[in-house]
Each structure stands twice: as structure tokens, then as C-alpha cells.
Structure 1
Amino acid sequence: MTRTGKRATEEQRAAAEYLGSLDDSLARWVRSAGPIDAYETHPPVEVRGPLEWFAFAIISRQLSRASAVAIHHRLVERLGGSVTGERVVSAGAQALRDVGLSHQKAETLLVLAQHDGLLDPGVLATMTDIEVRAEVEALPGLGPSSAQRFLLHYLHRPDVFLANDLTVREAITALDQLDHAITPKVAERRSEPWRPYRSYATSYLWGYAWEHYPVVSGDSG
């Protein structure tokens, strides 16, 4: 969680003011932290477009960062310097497996490349969050988590809430002083007061967990 302070954008200030004004256990932490950049990420590879973002996200599943980076670099080299739909489709599934992708990951990336028109930045800019989620989740190998993280980390949409993320739920459990971990369904309901800035609420919750409980078991990608 990166505090932006006096450098805060209008959206960051508005999110902090709104979330901090609620009669809510998160509000005190928001007021303490101040405005934040809800979207800032530090991918260890260069990401030059939506397909390449998904490619690294797919490669990274259940792998260490070092292994994922190595495979991504081999993939980029194999594809001639960039991950595009045309180059992935032309290379084929076997070439993807040859650089280190599992069979399932290769098939997922290939299907996504075949639907590369969906990932055109101009098209994405016209789509609502619900429309993006529906399109992404319809593709084999990609589910709600992939769609939500794409909306949050790549498209920078302000109202994305990752109810399935364990770290998010651990933070809510701690802030609300509950004696048991909450479920994703309960977390989703809990997030309703945080609209229309649930991306910011998600990042504040990650920040709370990281600063108060440095060793957390969730996957906050």
C-alpha cells in the first residue's frame, strides 16, 4: 500500500475522504493512512499490453516469482520480443510448453490469444466492469479472480472487491474483531458500504494486514 499524501490525485483524495467518513471499522485505518494509490503494482517483468499482463498472471500461478520471470522471459524471446495474439497463435501450444508452461497454462494462453480482440484497449475502455468480468470468465482457465485482478491491477477500475482473497478477509476479521474467519460471501456483503471505492478498500485492507500482520497467508498478487 503506497501512501500518496500531498501527491494524491483527485480520485485518491475522494476515496480516502469517503471511506474515512464512514461509521465503520475500516474508517479509522483509512484516516490514519491517508490517500493511497490503490492500483500501484510492481510486476517484475515489462508488461506492454493486456495480453502480456494475462500471460504473466497465468505463468505465475503456483510458481515462485523467479521461476515465473524466467519462463516469461523465455516466452517473450520465443515470440520474437513481444506477446501478441498473432504470435501466440502462430507459435502454437507445443512452443508454449517448450518454454516451460504447463499443458493447462499453454492452452489457457492460447485460447486467450485467439480472443485477443477482446483485449483491445479501445474496446476495454467502453466496457463496464460487469461486461469485462463476463467476457474474461467465459474463457476456459480464467475465473472470477483473474477477471477481478485484471480490472483492479491493469484497468484501474475503482470499485473492484476481492472477496475471495484470504488476506482481505483476514483484515476484515481483525478490524471487526471477529472470533472466526469470515467467508467470501460474508466479505462481499461487508463491502457494500465501501462502494464506489471498493478497489481502495481492498488496498487499504491489504495494507492493514501487511503492516499489522507481516506474515499473512493470503494471495494478494
Structure 2
Amino acid sequence: MISTVSSQVAEVSFTGPFDLDASTRFLEGFTPAARPDAAAEPGVLRMAFPVERTWSHAGVVVRQRAPDRVEVEVFAEPDVVPFAVTQVRRMLSLDVDGEGFARVGAADKVVAGLQERNPGLRPVLFHSPYEAACWAVIGHGIRIVQAAGIKRRVAERFGREVDVGGVPLISFPTPEELLEMDSHPSLPPAKVERLHAMARAARDGLLDAETLRAKDSAEALTRLLKLPGIGPFSSQLILIRGAGHPDVFPRDERRLQDEMARVYGQGGAVSAAKLERIADAWRPYRSWVALLFRTEREIRTGEIGGRRS
């Protein structure tokens, strides 16, 4: 376990509806997050992760103090704290103005129903584009539950245990720590090599969330596609669920399109082009609506929760 450090508290304000409990429930049912029972506590979200740019480990405790404000208690060295707070804002999609999200529902009764059934839920992200990229590599071609187990074991072996206010949590390896992994019994050599490539890309700033968000989404996706082993689906995952881009339609996510076709097609066939035109009406929150569709599908099928592959 890392040395215990004194905590610092920061307040994060935001605009638009947000419910921390909804985010916590989402993470509890999201197998890739691999949240331990020790992290479960009503009204509290505990996390440990490598902090971008500093690549130091930090623990955080998030509590919602008002409809427009959360408190973030950070357990890390003082110079790491501002970066950790910025990362938490992005992970919970609090860095996006959510005031206009209700207008999307007002113009689309399907979206309105999603919002009504999932009040206050914003996209909950991987800790960083780096971790999203590593998940994409680990999970390629295998079942979600299996991939989550491998990711957890990699974190336990090469990451760091962090004392998060008296609760020990495992933080995923930093890029330098991941580069120390020469092999892993559950990973073929090709995946180890690709994980090393993701670590080097993160270390060199190629997976920096702020940089990816600042680019045009098409340009950012093209940049991500140059990474070894990253295809269209994975590049969209990294940009949307890693960097937190709020307005990208995941055109290569088959399960999302299947769910949209089921709802909008009313039993008939709906082309991918038509689905993309439907999603154009969700701007500038296409990523947010897509999350709500995935959440509804998960409730119905149990796919991301691991009950199906």
C-alpha cells in the first residue's frame, strides 16, 4: 500500500441535472470497472487511479453536497491534487454543460423516456483514455467477464494499492509500471506488446484526454486508429468513454445500433445511415444519449454486467 497522505478537499460545481448515486449504480453494474464490495457505500463514490500527466496514483472520495455541486476528497501528494480533481470532473462528465440535455428529450420522445427512466445519469468514463485503450486491448476477442478478471489481476500484480480514506483500493498500473510487465499468464505475447504500445502512447501524450477532446472528433479518431491493435470500435470507445467527448455517435457499436433499431424501427429493419440521421438530432449530446441506450439494453440483456458475453 502506498504511504498514507493527508487529504485535500475540492468542490466541483456543474450545470444541468446530475445524480452521483446514479453514477455509482452504473459503475456497480459495469463489469469493466471491477468495483470491489469494499468501495460500496451509500452516497459515496470511492476510486483509485493513475492520474494523467503526473502519472502518480491517487485515491478520491466523491460526495454530492448539492444538486449543482460535489465534494472531491483527494488522497495524493499536493501537486497531484489539481490533476486528480480535473480527472474526476471528466470521469463523471461534470466538465460538460448539461443544461441543454433536456431539450434533446423535448424533441425526441424516445430520448425523453430514456431520461425519465435514468434521471441524473451522465456518462461515467474509464479513468483515462489510457485505461480505456488497455481495456480495449485486453478485451479484444474474449468475454467481458474474462477480460475484467484479467484487467483486475494485471492491476493487482503491477499497479498500486491506495489507501482511500481507510479503504484499500487497487489502482491500475501507470504507463511505466505497465511497461515492467514482460508477460502475463492470461495474456498472449501479442496483447502484452500492444499494452506496452498503449503505455508508451500514454507516456508520450498521444492518449492525453484534453488533447483528444480539443481535436475535431474525426481527426482524433484517425489519430487513435494509428495505435497498434486499435480499430474503429476501440477508437470510438477511447474517445467517448476514455476522453469523454460528449458528441460522438458510436457508429461501429453494433449493440447500440441493434437497440436503436429495436426502438425506432418498431420491429422493422432500419439502416445504419438512418440511425445516424436519427442521432444527429441528439447533438451536442450524442455520446450521452448513446449511454442511456446502452444502459437500457444492459438492464434488458445483462451483457455489460457480464451475464452474457
Q: TM-score range by the shorter chain?
A: 0.7 to 0.9
CA distance in 2, matches of 1:164, 1:122: 23
Q: Distance in 2 between matches of 1:215 and 1:156?
A: 25
**Partners of 1:31 and 1:77 in 2: CA distance:** 37
2:252 corresponds to which residue? 164
Distance 1:209 1:3 in 2: 21
- Which residue of structure 2 aligns with residue 53 of structure 1? 132
> Partners in 2 of 1:86 and 1:210 — Cα distance?
35
CA 1:186–1:141 in 2, change beyond 3 Å: closer, same or farther?
farther
| TM-score (ref. length: structure 2) | 0.54
TM-score where L is the length of structure 1:
0.72
Number of residue equivalences: 207
Distance 1:216 1:25, change over 3 A: farther
Q: Going by fraction, where is helix more abundant, 1 or 2?
A: 1
* Larger relative strand fraction: 2
Partner of 2:105: 20
Q: Which residue of 2 aligns with 1:105?
A: 191
Task: Indicate whether 1:67 and 2:146 are aligned.
Answer: yes
Shift in CA distance, 87/197, structure 1 to aligned 2, threshold 3 Å? same
Q: State the partner residue of 2:168.
A: none
Is contact 2:224-2:230 (8 Å) kept?
yes
Q: Of residues 213, 221, 227 in structure 2, which corresponds to 1:133?
A: 221
Give the letter aligned to residue 133 of structure 2: F
- Deviations 1:95-143 (CA, angstroms, capped at 9, x unpaired): 23x3321233223222222323212355445434333212111112102
The alpha carbon displacement at 1:3 in A equals 7.5
* Aligned-partner Cα distance in 2 for 1:74–1:176: 41
* Structure 1 residue 53: Cα displacement: 3.3
* Cα drift, residue 202 of structure 1: 0.6
Question: Structure 1 residues 101 and 31, CA, compared in 2 at 3 Å: closer, same or farther?
Answer: closer
User: What's 1:155 paired with?
Assistant: 243
In structure 2, C-alpha distance between the alignment counterparts of 1:199 and 1:68, rounded to whole Å: 24
Q: CA deviation at 1:66?
A: 4.5
Residue number in structure 1 paired with 2:121: 37
* Matching of residue 185 in structure 1 with residue 273 in structure 2: yes
Shift of 1:159: 0.4
8 Å Cα contact 1:163-1:185 kept in structure 2: no
Distance of 1:125 and 1:169 partners within structure 2 = 24
**Mapped partners of 1:7, 1:154: distance in 2:** 25
8 A contact 1:167–1:216 mirrored in 2: no
| Cα distance, 1:75–1:210 mapped onto 2, change above 3 Å | closer
User: Please, which runs of 5 or more residues in structure 2 have no aligned partner?
Assistant: 1-16, 23-65, 69-93, 161-171
Aligned mates of 1:158, 1:125 — CA distance in 2: 9
Instruction: Give the counterpart letter for 1:72 in structure 2.
Output: K
- Tell me the distance in 1 between the aligned counterparts of 2:215 and 2:200: 19
Cα RMSD, aligned residues only: 3.6
Structure 1 gaps, min length 5: none
Runs of 4+ with >6 A deviation: 216-221
For the residue of structure 2 that corresponds to 1:119, the secondary structure is coil
Q: CA deviation at 1:63?
A: 3.3
